[in-house]
Structure 1
Amino acid sequence: MKILMMGPPGAGKGSQSAKVVDHYDLPSISTGQMFRDAYKNGDPIGIEAMKYIKKGELVSDDITNEIVRLRLSKNDAENSFLLDGFPRTVAQAAALDGMLTKMGTKLDAVFNILSSNDVLFERMEQRRVCRSCDTTYHLKFKIPKECGVCDKCGGELYQRPDDTLESVKRRLEIYETKTRPLLDYYDKKGILYHINGMQPFDNVYNDIELVIRDL
């Protein structure tokens, strides 16, 4: 099973992806997480990527395509995976098609999680992430037991640099101009499924699972 999770920033695709990955034991391929990990490790590709991310910009295609290509070449991604955060442009989608063709496979489903801009702004402005284990919290909907401290590992919670108001506005602008055209791209392939992301978390997941069961 090979799945792509799409949606505007803050729609909840990362949280839904994590649950799908856990339930179905799928390899997770999240470009955002890979870039953040590379940055923490002092890897040049992560340092370069973070220059774009901090400004709310898309990381260049050559860097993004290469990190995905390397990840897809690993044995655990041969038969199944979930993509989160890639592709984000039609050019990247074409590059992904080329990678999958070389692997002799293709995507089974693309989920597009829908949400209003007002909700997206609130979710991202109040989102906090653990520096140690990357667990995500929300200051209104998923509040940590101790302010600024991760329930899971005790790590420090922080606001990602791309979750500030100006960065969020820029990310949504980029989504509308560069990423939204991907919906037509995958709709024409007959593998696009729209999911109402305004529902409670479990309801969103249940809608995703109904599609997965029929794949």
Structure 2
Amino acid sequence: MRMIFMGPPGAGKGTQAALVAEHHGIPAISTGDIFRYNVGQGTPLGLEAKKYMDAGEYVPDSVTNSMVRNRIAESDAEPGFLLDGYPRTLAQVTELDGMVEASGHAIDVAVVLTVDQEELVQRLLKRAETSGRSDDTEDVIRHRQEVYVEQTAPLIDVYRDRGLLVEVDGMGEVADVTARIMAALDGLATS
């Protein structure tokens, strides 16, 4: 299975991606993890990304796309993968389509976790407090939500139009959300 996880910051994508990927025996691939790995290994792409990250800028699509292309070409991703944090833009959707089609496959499903905006803000403020992330102020958190709506939310329509979108309520306990995702994915397999 080749799937995408989407949702605003704080929706629980990383937590759920790890659980769902483990259940399906495929790697959960997070762009954040890919960036950290490449930077840590000093790869040419990592060194390129680090320049932007150190300046507090977004890593350009060309670098991000190359990192994702390399990662999904690894042998553990042959039976499938779960992408968390990619694609984030319409241009990246086009890139991903090309990457997956080149391997003779297609994206099977795009799962979007829906969570009440005020709940997200409270979750992220609590996470900032417990993890000591002083940069996660309420203003910064709300700005990230706005950026998500502007840049990533249009992708939801793309995958909805393709008949690949599954919306799952991301509110509640982790186990409850996981159960809803599994039920939705099982429903796809039987339809």
TM-score normalized with structure 1 length: 0.77
Give yes or no for the alignment of 1:48 onto 2:51: yes
Task: Tell me if the contact between 2:49 and 2:59 (Cα under 8 Å) persists in the aligned partners.
Answer: no
Give the stretch that moved more between structures: 99-108 or 31-40: 31-40
Asked if residue 180 in structure 1 is aligned to residue 153 in structure 2, the reply is yes
How much does 1:168 deviate?
2.2
Instruction: Answer yes or no: is 1:115 the counterpart of 2:89.
Output: no
Given that 1:87 and 1:96 are in contact with CA atoms closer than 8 Å, whether structure 2 keeps it comes out as yes
2:32 aligned partner, one-letter code: G
Deviation sequence 1:17-52 (CA, Å, 0-9, x none):
011122222112110122133344554144135247
The 10-residue stretch of structure 1 (118-127 or 94-103) with the greater mean CA deviation from structure 2: 118-127
Residue equivalent to 1:171 = 144
One-letter identity of the residue aligned with 1:88: R
Structure 1 residue identity aligned to 2:151: K
Does the 8 A contact of 2:49 with 2:63 survive in 1?
no
Q: Secondary structure at the match of 2:162?
A: coil
Q: How many angstroms apart in 1 are the aligned matches of 2:77 and 2:117?
A: 34
CA 1:60–1:115 in structure 2 vs 1: closer, same or farther (change >3 Å)?
A: same
CA distance in 1, matches of 2:30, 2:146: 21
State the alpha-carbon separation in 2 of the partners of residues 169 and 58 from structure 1. 18
Q: Secondary structure at the match of 1:198?
A: coil
After TM superposition, give the deviation of residue 70 of structure 1 in Å: 0.7
CA contact (8 A) 1:36 1:50 kept: no
Partner of 2:22: 22
Q: Helix, strand or coil: the match of 2:87?
A: coil
Structure 2 letter corresponding to 1:180: A
**How far 1:59 sits from its partner (Å)?**
3.0
Asked whether the equivalents of residues 78 and 103 of structure 1 are also in contact (C-alpha less than 8 Å), the reply is no
Partner residue in 1 for 2:133? 159
Give the Cα–Cα distance (whole angstroms) in 2 for the partners of residues 185 and 23 of structure 1.
Answer: 27
Task: Report the Cα distance in structure 2 between the residues aligned to 1:160 and 1:87, rounded to whole angstroms.
Answer: 27
SS of 1:126's equivalent? helix
Consecutive unaligned residues in structure 2, runs of 5 or more: none
Do the aligned partners of 2:89 and 2:152 also contact (CA within 8 Å) in 1? Answer: yes
Taking the aligned partners of 1:167 and 1:34, their CA distance within structure 2 comes to 24
Aligned-pair distance for 1:122?
1.8
1:5 touches 1:110 (CA, 8 Å); kept in 2?
Answer: yes
User: Contact 2:26 / 2:79 at 8 angstroms: preserved in 1?
Assistant: no
1:127 matched residue in structure 2 = 127
Q: Which amino acid aligns with 2:142?
A: K
Q: CA-atom RMSD, angstroms? A: 2.2
Q: Deviations over 1:149-197 (max 9, x none)?
A: xxxxxxxx55385x44443233212111110000110001101011111
Q: Which residue of 2 aligns with 1:209?
A: 182
Q: How many residues align?
A: 185
| Distance apart, 1:212 and its partner CA | 2.1
In the alignment, is the contact (CA less than 8 A) between 1:7 and 1:113 conserved in 2?
yes
Q: Is residue 38 of structure 2 the alignment partner of residue 38 of structure 1?
A: yes
